[in-house]
Structure 1
Amino acid sequence: MQQDLTPANKHLIFIGGGHAHALALLMMAMNKPAGVRITLISNLIQTPYSGMLPGLIAGHYSFDQVHIDLGRFCRYAGIDFIEDTVTGIDPAGRTVQCLNHPPFRYDLLSIDTGSTPDLNSIPGAAEFTIGVKPVKQLLDYWEGLQNRVMQGDDRVDFHIGTVGGGASAVEVLLAMQYKLHKMLSKEQRRTSHLHFHIICGPQQILTGHNNRVKNRYLKVLKERNIELHTNFHVDQVKQGRVINDSGETIELDEIIWATSATGAEWPSRAGLECSDNGCIRVNDYLQSLSHPEIFAAGDIAEMVNYPRPKAGVFAVRQGAPLLHNLQAALAGAPLTRFKPQSQFLSLISTGDRYAVASRGPFSFAGAWVWRWKDRIDQKFMQRFSDLTQLPGQVPGNELKIENPDMRCGGCGAKVGHSILNRVLKQLPAPPNEIEIGLNRPDDAAVIDVPADKLLVQSVDSFRQLVNDDFLFGQIAANHALGDIFAMGAEPHSAQAIVSLPHASDEIIEQRLRHLLLGASKVFSNCGIGLIGGHTSEGTELTLGFTINGLAERQQLLTKQGLQPGDRLIITKPLGTGTLFASDMRSQAQGRWISLALQHMLQSNYQASKIFTAAGAHACTDITGFGLLGHLHEMLDGTGLGARLWLEKLPVMDGALACLRAGLFSSLHPQNRKFEHSLINLDEFNTDTAIELLFDPQTAGGLLAAVSSDQADDVVAELQATGYTEACAIGSVRQEGNDSVTLM
């Protein structure tokens, strides 16, 4: 996807990855408004498609088949993706607050966070039941439930039930029954000890559907021996049972809560006009009644003129009109009214490959209906998975830079003084004593270096690799600190070098604030702070740091100190190069990138202390030259050799799949020049793990040589400190002429 190089002057934020937002963003990716920065904030990097959830529970689909990969899609579409939980908004200041990020400022906001069953109105429900939403928690629970059933005693009755008789409750319970029976039957075990229940209030099952549909499902429930409890209004939940207002009890070992849905609390807390169930009240334009700069769609929205049940079909239909009105609002154009359909096609599955269809008074059922539903669902999901073939994309339609302000170069490209001052005032003060720094701004920083210390200094800078400025600030800081930690030095202070893409003052200020607050979070954890730096505007975002450290001469670690018999210990798994090369091509699964970021956010600070205390003989950080390149530097000129245990290399999720697909970092081929040091490469050339040796790392781990008698203790201490994948990956041998032998 071509990048819009027009300076951004407005910020459109989407909160939540619901169906309406997913479709709106898909269509927006084909025709992005120029000069608008678009951000999606979601607590899930892969969001579920509700229509296929029962099929996932029943085992008909895989996890990836029923989840839209928001991270991968946003990378393709040029949309910033922020994986975080929104905790509130400030409509007056037009900011969004998140659990793990600084606030985001918006010009226009759209909310599609869905809804969840109300677990708070019934005593005990929150403690002893699981809601059908959020889906992630339900799926985690479902995995545990399967294990409990398979490990249980077939001679003991086991009762599973749903509170609520709507479509979601019925579909989920039937899917669970189907899968559990199939699993037990596969092991030739009895299923008669499993009992399933649907508990309804005063109404029958499937309210809102015609009698033909209800009768079909009543027949299915009877055939499947599922007990239906009607006119049972749950008044209280206790461990293993539900109780109605008359004191009657139904014993249940597992309780799934599927009653009426409620919205999140933060919209009403922020002053948005909401209904009693917490849903945002919107007009015919999907616009908040109280705040016209805020739009809402999906289950979190309640159209005051056209009330409809909470169903995915309505959310899907809102995608196009939502997009149209957001684009109109950005352009200052008139909005268009949207009237949802009064009747809709409903396709409800029965756990097995059978489904019931209805529309208005009509209904039909059969295996062919399930196949029809499957085709519809697969086609919907294919629109997001086939990212390289977005419908309507015009090949060769390149975007051009529109630069009406003729932004200057040289010193004229510096970020404005007032913006810089506002951001710097929000940064924590450096804890170390600095003669002259941000505490006393001058032309340069002045550091008093103790007479008994060595000054250790390093500089690192690179282009943005993840569209989350706060995370990127942390990653860049960790990466820059790596060289200091590899030398066994104590970090002292840092200076930043930042280049930001041309944009409005508000967007520039937010981005700079997120970058430097992210970096400061890492620096503060190491007991240091920023003491100066340089900012400028350019065509792309780059961030780097000059890091100062102090070390005692006798504690200084270098690359050249290997001793025969040493164990080679690595602190982090490998794979960032291929994963982010794949991500740039929209080929990496979002969860792979999310997990890789967690490794990159882990500081090497404590690992450096552990290696220093253990008297490590040599150390380096694994960065651009890859594992083999940095090991070659350690061996160079020593006459020693190394053995690498290929099967021991820790690998990030998805990295081997990306390497097998030939998705290499641009630096990977150059790192191949180190392959001459591998004396038995031919024996392993078909093993994909070989490519890990050449994969460049960003914010990678440390590689240290530790005496063999201490290696096990060091690895155990590293793992206990949080480096869970730290391990010994090889050894140093007496002779080898700077070569590496694969084992």
Structure 2
Amino acid sequence: MPRDLPETPPAEGRELLLVGGGHAHLGLLRALAMRPIPGLRITLVAEELAPVYSGMLPGLVAGLYTPEECEVDLPRLATAAGARLIHDRATGLRPAARRLLCVRHPALRYDLLSIDIGSVARPLPPGEGKLLPVRPIGSLEARLAGALPTGPVRAAVVGGGAAGVELAFSLRHRLGPAAEVTVLSGGPHLLPGAGRLAGWVAGRELARRGIRVLAGAGLARSGPEGLVLEDGRVLPCDLALWATGAAAPTWLRETGLALDPAGFIAVDATLRSTSHREVFAAGDVAAMLETPREKAGVYAVRQGPALEAAVRRLLAGQAPRPFRPQRRALALIGTADGAAIALWGPLVLAGRLAWRLKQWIDRRWIARFTSLPAMPPMAMPAPMRCAGCGGKLAAPVLSAALRRLGLADAPDVLVGLDAPDDATVLRPPPGQVLVQSVDQFRAFLTDLHLFGRIAANHALGDIHAMGGQPLAALALVTLPHGPAPWLEEDLHAMLRGAQEVLEAAGARLVGGHSAEGAETALGFAVTGAADPARLLRKGGLRPGDRLVLTKPLGTGVILAAAMRGAARAAWLEAAIVAMQQPGGPIAAALAAHGATACTDVTGFGLLGHLGEMLRASRCGARLDAGAVPLLPGVQEALAGGIRSTLHEGNLAGIAGLLEGEAPPALLDPQTAGGFLAGLPAASLGPCLDALRGLGAEPAVIGEVVAGPPGIRFDLAGRTG
């Protein structure tokens, strides 16, 4: 690919939406990280946060690689490219409106769209046997580990192409010599696209390793007895991998995009849709009509630079140049025991040299994504902006975003957004008192819909912790200056996410305030109602109470690690799941089982909030630090010296209370953290069972003791 790319002018507020974390998009993102396009907003929608490099998948199955060695960390790559990352799955397209439909997010707007979502497995034959599709490849290792029986295994691979043959070698290495491994090839020869010699060499290498080949053996169905072939033979089998080739995702049929006969997106030589010129497609999901090639990662990798060039030329007002894939590609099939089969046109070579070449190519490709520049979010150039009330979001932006929410007020809301006025008017429930709290923080995720969900969940925590029922919320929104379409989309995304959480908790979004600022921020002033006789306060702890924590700790250090590009995708994913767990049912269960005191663990960390409870209750506590649950990655991040910026302040906040050294995780500030409650010992067991039934991960971490407020770490093994 020639590198005589144009100097791309500012993109003037245009949006590039990338769907899928396929090999071509990975290359495009890396290129944009190295050479950004000013003014272009990039959003990546991906179902997997750590996609597996297809060339190393067989080695992962064989146990030659750890998952981390063959995965690309999408959050880190997106941050380097200045791209927003949305963890979701695409389900449809509205090309006329230029909107992408997803499972969990509102429809996403785009000016340019690129689709690189790979392919799906071909339909499985009928039956209920253990037939495991290879696709999606990102989850294959976990699915395989869960499906493998104990003891000697009779395994099969359905498919005689390069993927099927290499996976058969991998299964042999993984399962050991006692296992039976069989390859079912629907055609008369292995590797049908590579010639008779290649098929013969592959068959020879399989036989040398005790792998049986059944050629011309079509699969009719699967069942408890094994695999039933079309000729009536039965192959006893405990587990079979379905590696029969690629099929197109079915949702593409409803998009209106031009497709080839197999259902893949038809593209021209510039990788643009033949029917919708603002749409690109690459990788397996694309069908190159002018230069058709097999579905293989080697071609997808080469399409990354082609996509970059096409996008740059299009934004510069130039016509994209054609992409000409190589006529033949080097194929390397590892045997999982230090050798490989190399295929180049009619040439075939098997041996250790081919394996060394394969490892060098694969590891070099993965290494391209481990050292990336840290890029700040792209800022739009703007003239001086007014402050005060001149710094509010424009009325058309605000009204358009709110109109799309479809807000409807509850009976207790006398004046709200259905007929906006200067203030909201609520009717308090009879015999109850009002409970109010406010929280706000800047965005720590580029997925603003998800950020809105977490911000709302966090703001509800104080109301739930006091035993209240949320009624209404006022939003506090700050957005950086940008084009009006961006502002509308961002405001709608945040408020839609918040609306989902608020309404699930029984509250309504009834108004708020918006303003321009340097960074995106969101908060809520929440009003709730509670029975004054059943309020849960911090000061109700009694000696003998057991201290129960309802969520693992560590969101602060995980988010700090993510900001430094040091958090694995799996760590961030687990933290995001924890931050979205609703607190209302959890708090209600604590109250129903006689909780004497409760608070939500947030910015001051576990020890800071426990200190507040002990001071208010005028008693002490003994903790078992080893019983405190932590999110995945917390220990590794702390061991690497990563701390939240609030860490030292939280340590100072418990001065005079602590006896001994505080474990760092217990000082970590939490976003949408769990509850810390005191429970009578007699109700502990039933309460823990109820919390687990709600999906919580409760832990008994200590005991309240008589005496002056203080925290001691000497209760190991006695918290049950």
Shorter-chain TM-score category? over 0.9
State whether structure 2 residue 112 is matched by structure 1 residue 139.
no
Equivalences for residues 659-678 of structure 1 within 5 A: 659-674=638-653, 676-677=655-656
Q: Percent same amino acid among aligned pairs?
A: 39
CA 1:270–1:545: 2 relative to 1, 3 Å? same
Q: Deviations over 1:187-225 (max 9, x none)?
A: xxxx44x32211222341112224443332221112122
For 1:66, give the aligned amino acid: C
Q: Which moved more, 1:257-266 or 1:89-98?
A: 257-266
Listed one character per residue, the Cα deviations across residues 416-453 of structure 1 (whole Å, up to 9, x for unaligned) are 22332232232442334212111221011112234632
Matched, 1:58 2:62: yes
Contact 1:432 1:492 in 2 (8 A): no
Aligned counterpart for 1:288 among listed residues 247, 262, 273: 273
Q: Is the 8 A contact 2:154 2:236 kept in 1?
A: yes
Cα deviation, residue 248, structure 1: 4.3
Pairing of 1:480-495 with structure 2 (within 5 A): 480-495=459-474
Indicate the SS of the match to 1:252.
coil
Aligned partner of 2:352 in structure 1 is 367
Matches within 5 A, 1:315-354: 315-354=300-339
Q: Deviations over 1:93-122 (max 9, x none)?
A: 1111111111111111001111123115x4
Does residue 504 in structure 1 map to residue 483 in structure 2?
yes
Counterpart-to-counterpart distance in 2, 1:634 and 1:233: 69
CA distance in 2, matches of 1:677, 1:328: 64
Task: Measure how far apart 1:252 and its partner are.
Answer: 3.1
Secondary structure of the residue that 1:68 maps to in structure 2? coil
1:643 maps onto 2:622 in alignment: yes
- Contact residue 41 and residue 81 of structure 1 kept, 8 A: yes
Contact 2:20–2:46 (Cα < 8 Å) also in 1: yes
SS in 2 for 1:531: strand
Q: Which residue of structure 1 lines up, in the alignment, with residue 33 of structure 2?
A: 29
CA 1:480–1:44 in 2, change beyond 3 Å: closer, same or farther? same
Instruction: Check 1:330–1:613 CA distance in 2 against 1; reply closer, same or farther (3 A cut).
Output: same
Task: Find the residue that maps to 1:560 and give its secondary structure.
Answer: helix
Q: Which residue of 2 aligns with 1:629?
A: 608
Conserved? CA contact 1:8–1:37, under 8 Å? no
1:378-397 map, 5 Å = 378-388=363-373
Of the structure 1 ranges 613-622 and 692-701, higher mean CA displacement relative to structure 2 is found in 613-622
Find the aligned partners of 1:421 and 1:465 in 2 and give their Cα distance: 26
Q: Tell me the distance in 1 between the aligned counterparts of 2:538 and 2:239.
A: 58
- For the 8 Å contact 1:240–1:254, the answer to whether it is kept is no
**1:331 to 1:267, Cα distance in 2 relative to 1, 3 A:** farther
* 3-state secondary structure, aligned to 1:365: strand
1:275-296 Cα distance to aligned partner (Å, 9 max, x none): 1222111101000111111000
Check conservation: 1:242, 1:249, Cα contact below 8 A.
yes
What is the match of residue 734 of structure 1?
706
Post-superposition offset of 1:140: 2.6
The 10-residue stretch of structure 1 (17-26 or 209-218) with the greater mean CA deviation from structure 2: 209-218
**Mapped partners of 1:84, 1:127: distance in 2:** 30
Change (3 A) 1:332 1:408: farther
Counterpart of 2:685 in structure 1: which amino acid? D
Paired with 2:272 and 2:435, the residues of 1 have a C-alpha distance of 56
TM-score, scaled relative to structure 2: 0.94
Distance 2:16 2:60 in 1: 33
Q: Mean alpha-carbon deviation: is it higher for 417-426 or for 281-290?
A: 417-426
CA distance in 1, matches of 2:679, 2:377: 53
Query: Aligned in 2, Cα 1:565/1:340: closer, same or farther, shift over 3 Å?
Result: same
How far is 1:363 from its partner?
A: 2.7
Q: Distance in 2 between matches of 1:605 and 1:91?
A: 40
Determine the C-alpha separation between the residues in 1 that align with 2:314 and 2:229.
50
Alignment match, 1:698: 671
Q: Paired residue for 2:172, among 177, 181, 185?
A: 177
Report the 3-state secondary structure (helix = DSSP H, G, I; strand = E; otherwise coil) of the residue aligned with 1:32.
Answer: coil
Q: 2:400 aligns with which of 419, 422, 426?
A: 422
Alignment check: 8 A CA contact 1:114 1:300 kept: yes
RMSD: 2.1
Pair 1:76 & 2:114 matched: no
SS at the partner of 1:46? coil
Structure 2 stretches lacking a partner, 5+ long: 1-9, 716-720
Other-structure match for 1:581: 560
CA shift for structure 1 position 492: 1.2
Q: Is the 8 A contact 1:164 1:200 kept in 2?
A: yes
Q: Distance in 1 between matches of 2:711 and 2:104?
A: 45
Contact 1:570–1:727 (8 Å) recurs in 2: yes
CA distance in 1, matches of 2:88, 2:306: 27
* Runs of at least 5 residues in structure 1 that lack an aligned partner in the other structure: 1-5, 182-190
Aligned equivalents of 1:76 and 1:276: distance in 2? 38
Instruction: Determine if the alignment matches structure 1 residue 439 to structure 2 residue 413.
Output: no
Count of equivalent residues: 705
Report what 2:386 is aligned to. Answer: 408
Residue 598 (str. 1) matches residue 581 (str. 2): no
TM-score for the superposition, normalised by structure 1: 0.91
- CA contact 1:558–1:618 (8 Å) conserved in 2: yes
Aligned to 1:104: 108
1:671-705 alpha-carbon deviations (Å, 9 max, x no partner): 111453454425xx7xxxx0011100011011111
Change (3 A) 1:675 1:212: farther
8 Å CA contact 2:94–2:100 kept in 1: the answer is yes
